[in-house]
Amino acid sequence: MNTRALSFSLFVIISLFTGAASAQNKKFYIFLCFGQSNMEGNARIQPQDTVVDPRLQVLETVDCPNLKRTKGNWYTAVPPLARCNTGLTPADYFGRTLIATLPHDVTVGIVNVSVAGCKIELFQEGSYKSYAATAPAWMVNMINEYGGDPYGHLVEMAKLAQKHGVIKGILLHQGESNPNDTLWTQKVKSIYDMLIKDLHLKPRKVPLLAGELVNADQEGKCAAMNEIIDKLPDVIPNAYVINSNGCPAAPDKLHFTAEGYRMLGTRYGLKMLSLLGYKSQPATDPLPVQPTGSTGR
């Protein structure tokens, strides 16, 4: 049995255990991820990152023959989680943190559509075409993998995911390409509002978790942008900022190391667990947390 068939078989077994495989399963928690290179995943995947509980799934959003994955199908979330040759992302350890704590009949699914180097405008309805038209060739190739419209592709994949589970949150990591952009929070709000509308979601039930860029304590080249990112909850009531303090940076001071992604991803996960009704632990603690009584929003 090949890797694809094995992954799908495991997912079917899990689905049968938790609910009907062909219908929406309320115990299949879906999380949408978008942004630029740090959400896409920049660090080299290490052996320890390839051991994944099959309760953590990824919806493949492009065809990846090298991974034996096909667009639109679910697989055990062995990285990469964005496209065929991307690296470790915060979404990896976000998902693992959830799986370590959520009840064993709950499955977690990741849907990641991200483009390295892009401005937030690439995900905006009114600007993505003009932005893509002037993007460098290397970025255009990535954009074209998403049909020329990353936002539209994310919605397409999200609707497919909704046939199997329930969208519980949205993860964002972007900002390095929008330094000092005081309108960034409003632009993110426009994208969040469109996702809520296009996917028929309820804002109070679907939080947006946005990660800070490489922090000043790591000499981050875009650390000043964190002051703007930190204001996101002022415009989106159900938005939460994930602190990047102490997360190790790569030599370019724009990306995180593998350890940095693990730490940041764990922080995303712990925040989401608290929003789902679980007691939070210190931000870098990857161990399971204890439920406070509620298991969902």
Q: How long, in residues, is the chain?
A: 297
Q: 291: which residues sit within 8 A by CB, 6+ positions away? A: 101, 277, 278, 279
Q: At what angle do helices 150-162 and 184-198 cross, to 10 degrees?
A: 40
Q: Are 35 and 86 in contact (CB under 8 A)?
A: no
Q: Which residues are catalytic?
A: 37, 252, 255
Q: Dump the DSSP string for 122-141.
A: GGSTTTHHHHHHTS-HHHHH
Could you tell me which of 210, 227, 217, 230 has the C-alpha nearest to residue 272? 210
User: Which phi and psi angles does 121 have, rounded to 5°?
Assistant: -60, -25
- Helices and strands in the chain, H and E counts: 10, 7
- SS3 at position 14: helix
For residues 191 and 210, is the Cβ–Cβ distance under 8 A? no
